[in-house]
Amino acid sequence: MALQNINPTKTKAWEKLTNHFNENKDINIKDLYKNASRKEDFSIEFDDLLVDFSKNRITEETISLLVELAKEVNLKDAIEKQFNGEVINVTEGREVLHTALRSTSEEPVLVNGKNIKPQIQTALRKIRSFSNKVISGKWKGYTGKAITDVVNIGIGGSDLGPDMIVESLQYYKNHLTTHFVSNIDGDHVSEIIKKLNPETTLFVIVSKTFTTQETITNAETIKNWFLKSATIFDIPKHFVAVSTNLEAVDNFGIDKTNVFPMWNWVGGRFSLWSAVGLSISLSVGFDNYRALLDGAEEMDLHFRNTDFNENIPVILALLSIWYNNFYGAETEAVLPYTQYLKKLPDYLQQAIMESNGKGVDRNGDKIDYQTGTIVWGSTGTNMQHAFMQLVHQGTKLIPADFIGYKQSLYGLTDHHKKLMANYYAQMDALAFGKTKEEVHLELKFSGDEDKISQLLPFKVFEGNRPSNAILFDKLTPHSLGKLVALYEHKIYTQGILWNIYSYDQFGVELGKELAKKLLNKQ
């Protein structure tokens, strides 16, 4: 049975939420914080993860009405349909089973009546054995030398996920140097090539369709460069592919044994858990890759089995809807307080905006309410010296996720204490601000009394700006898997609530078609 088709704005819960919003829209986080148990009441703990959503413009009633909305649109049923492999990507006629890729349970998941778990396990074994051979140096290049560099050639979901994870897990990296080529801009590939030795480089061509213009163009350029030093008989030692399109891979000249599978039931932007993640396994080793999958699986189980009012992805999705659809906020910031996660905002831009940037509902009708949020961000503390001025004192309401870690990886405690002091201080400043009275006193005691009338309005922080603290013990492959899966489930939850199809991306097609036409005219 297909997903239900319910316009959220026509539900009883929406009407109640509208009334609740009209009555409470001026509530202030500072006032809400007068309740001593506020933090505790609006926090969820899940093993090594604590999500504190107390600094939001919400009351218990807001959450209960938002949960009512999730129930009224039958989110539970939609979650089960996704996990059970129903064709919920209706417009492309596909199941959506990235969750099956990380599942360790024996429970079968059927696609066309066939359990897909065995093929997932076979692919994982192939990834493990191949990664081990390359990392240990048993896999030799055409002159008998071990591999030193790995180049992932892909774009979109075939690039952003692996690139973000490899960057985020740098601390766990082995001796191999990993590069990512994505842009059709020839300068990108040229800059990478100049660092490479063909004798010791492994190229991983990642393309679900194996027709993507950028990827195929880059792969051809690299193959031609490679063939200047080697012969076509050397290709099997240096080129592997991850794809569903075996014929195109074969035409490219890649050996059958060097093809890693992809499946139509895995969407590009949710594919890092499949062989698309091969460059991750090559960079940090298979055990760390498996730990990433395990962390994601823990979040899957939490999402599937936890009541909505304690369910982290659901709560974060509902809060986002609260600001997007009631307060009219258009963007959300993702602000990791670790330099390792500097590529997370880019990755999430594809995951979130390609999924939920839709203007037509599941009925095919034009939508008259807001859907997908614009997501952006950067790492703390750098961004405090860049765009945070606007978030603190600008005219826009920008809810923000602050991602932090209790421990640093290198144990530089002085740095980490300062980092985390900033992490908490930013959220406090956003929520509680600084009043006129406080500014007045501050100027008075700093000896600037004469400047009070001139400076006071500029130094006031109105506060009441929402944030979520997403705090893990430590950045590990396991906790990273959990974090990424959290956002994946938030995306799906929002898509269900907005009554859209989150798993297609027809909006990227027209530009591609027109570019092809223009190219043919040249």
| CA of residue 362 relative to chain centroid, distance | 24
Element (H, E) at 149: strand 149-153
Please give the residues from 126 up to 155 whose contact with ligand F6P meets the rule CB under 6 A.
155
Q: Does 207 engage in binding with ligand F6P (CB under 6 A)?
A: yes
Q: Does 284 engage in binding with ligand F6P (CB under 6 A)?
A: no
Please give the residues from 94 up to 123 whose contact with ligand F6P meets the rule CB under 6 A.
none
DSSP string for residues in 238-251 = HEEEEES-HHHHHH
Q: Which stretch binds ligand F6P (CB under 6 A): 38-46, 47-55, 208-216, 451-459?
A: 208-216
210 backbone φψ class: left, alpha, beta (φ>0; ψ -120 to 50):
left
| CA of residue 302 relative to chain centroid, distance | 18
- Structural contact between residues 470 and 51, judged by C-beta atoms closer than 8 angstroms: yes
- Residue 84 is classified by DSSP as T
CB of 212 to ligand F6P, least distance (A): 3
CB of 372 to ligand F6P, least distance (A): 15
From residue 335 to residue 374, the character string flagging contacts with ligand F6P as x (rule: CB under 6 A) and all else as - is: -------------------x--------------------
HSE (side-chain half, CA atoms, 13 Å) at 8: 31
Of 74 and 349, nearer to ligand F6P (C-beta) is 349
- Structural contact between residues 8 and 71, judged by C-beta atoms closer than 8 angstroms: no
392 is written with which tokens? 């603190």
Query: What 3-state class would DSSP assign to 113?
Result: coil
Interface size with ligand F6P, residues (CB under 6 A): 14
Helix 477-497 and helix 75-83, axial crossing angle in degrees, nearest 10: 130
Query: What 3-state class would DSSP assign to 205?
Result: strand
Among this protein's residues, is 199 annotated catalytic?
no
From residue 217 to residue 236, the character string flagging contacts with ligand F6P as x (rule: CB under 6 A) and all else as - is: --------------------
Helix 186-193 and helix 213-226, axial crossing angle in degrees, nearest 10: 40
Among this protein's residues, is 81 annotated catalytic?
no
Round to whole Å and give the CA distance between 482 and 297: 7
Of 493 and 505, nearer to ligand F6P (C-beta) is 505
Of 174 and 209, nearer to ligand F6P (C-beta) is 209
Among this protein's residues, is 354 annotated catalytic?
yes
CB of 171 to ligand F6P, least distance (A): 27
Q: Does 269 engage in binding with ligand F6P (CB under 6 A)?
A: yes
Q: Which stretch binds ligand F6P (CB under 6 A): 207-215, 221-229, 380-388, 390-398?
A: 207-215
- Residue 10 is classified by DSSP as G
Question: Which of 385, 513, 517, 521 is the catalytic position?
Answer: 385
C-beta atoms surrounding 272 within 10 Å: 31
Query: What 3-state class would DSSP assign to 143?
Result: coil
CB of 271 to ligand F6P, least distance (A): 7
Question: Which value, to the nearest 10 degrees, does the dihedral of the CA atoms of residues 130, 135, 141, 145 take?
Answer: -150
Q: Which stretch binds ligand F6P (CB under 6 A): 107-115, 202-210, 373-381, 426-434?
A: 202-210
Residue partners of 371: CB distance under 8 A and separation at least 6: 356, 357, 358, 359, 494, 498, 500
SS (H, E, C) 353-371: HHHHCCCECCCCCECCCCC
Of 55 and 269, nearer to ligand F6P (C-beta) is 269
Q: Which stretch binds ligand F6P (CB under 6 A): 5-13, 99-107, 203-211, 331-339?
A: 203-211
Question: Which of 86, 95, 298, 354 is the catalytic position?
Answer: 354
Please give the residues from 497 up to 516 whose contact with ligand F6P meets the rule CB under 6 A.
505, 508
Contact with ligand F6P (CB under 6 A): which of 141, 198, 268, 466?
Answer: 268
Q: Does 493 engage in binding with ligand F6P (CB under 6 A)?
A: no
Please give the residues from 150 up to 179 whose contact with ligand F6P meets the rule CB under 6 A.
155-158
Instruction: Read off the amino acid at residue 442.
Output: E
CB of 207 to ligand F6P, least distance (A): 3
CB of 253 to ligand F6P, least distance (A): 18
Q: Does 476 engage in binding with ligand F6P (CB under 6 A)?
A: no
| CA of residue 1 relative to chain centroid, distance | 29
CB of 156 to ligand F6P, least distance (A): 3
Beta strands in 328-473 (DSSP E): 331-336, 374-377, 400-405, 467-472
Of 355 and 464, nearer to ligand F6P (C-beta) is 355
CB of 208 to ligand F6P, least distance (A): 4
Q: Which residue has the tokens 């996920």?
A: 161
Of 200 and 212, nearer to ligand F6P (C-beta) is 212
C-beta atoms surrounding 375 within 10 Å: 21
Of 219 and 321, nearer to ligand F6P (C-beta) is 219
Give contact residues for ligand F6P (rule: CB under 6 A): 155-158, 207-209, 212, 215, 268-269, 354, 505, 508
Q: Indicate which residues carry an active-site annotation.
A: 354, 385, 512
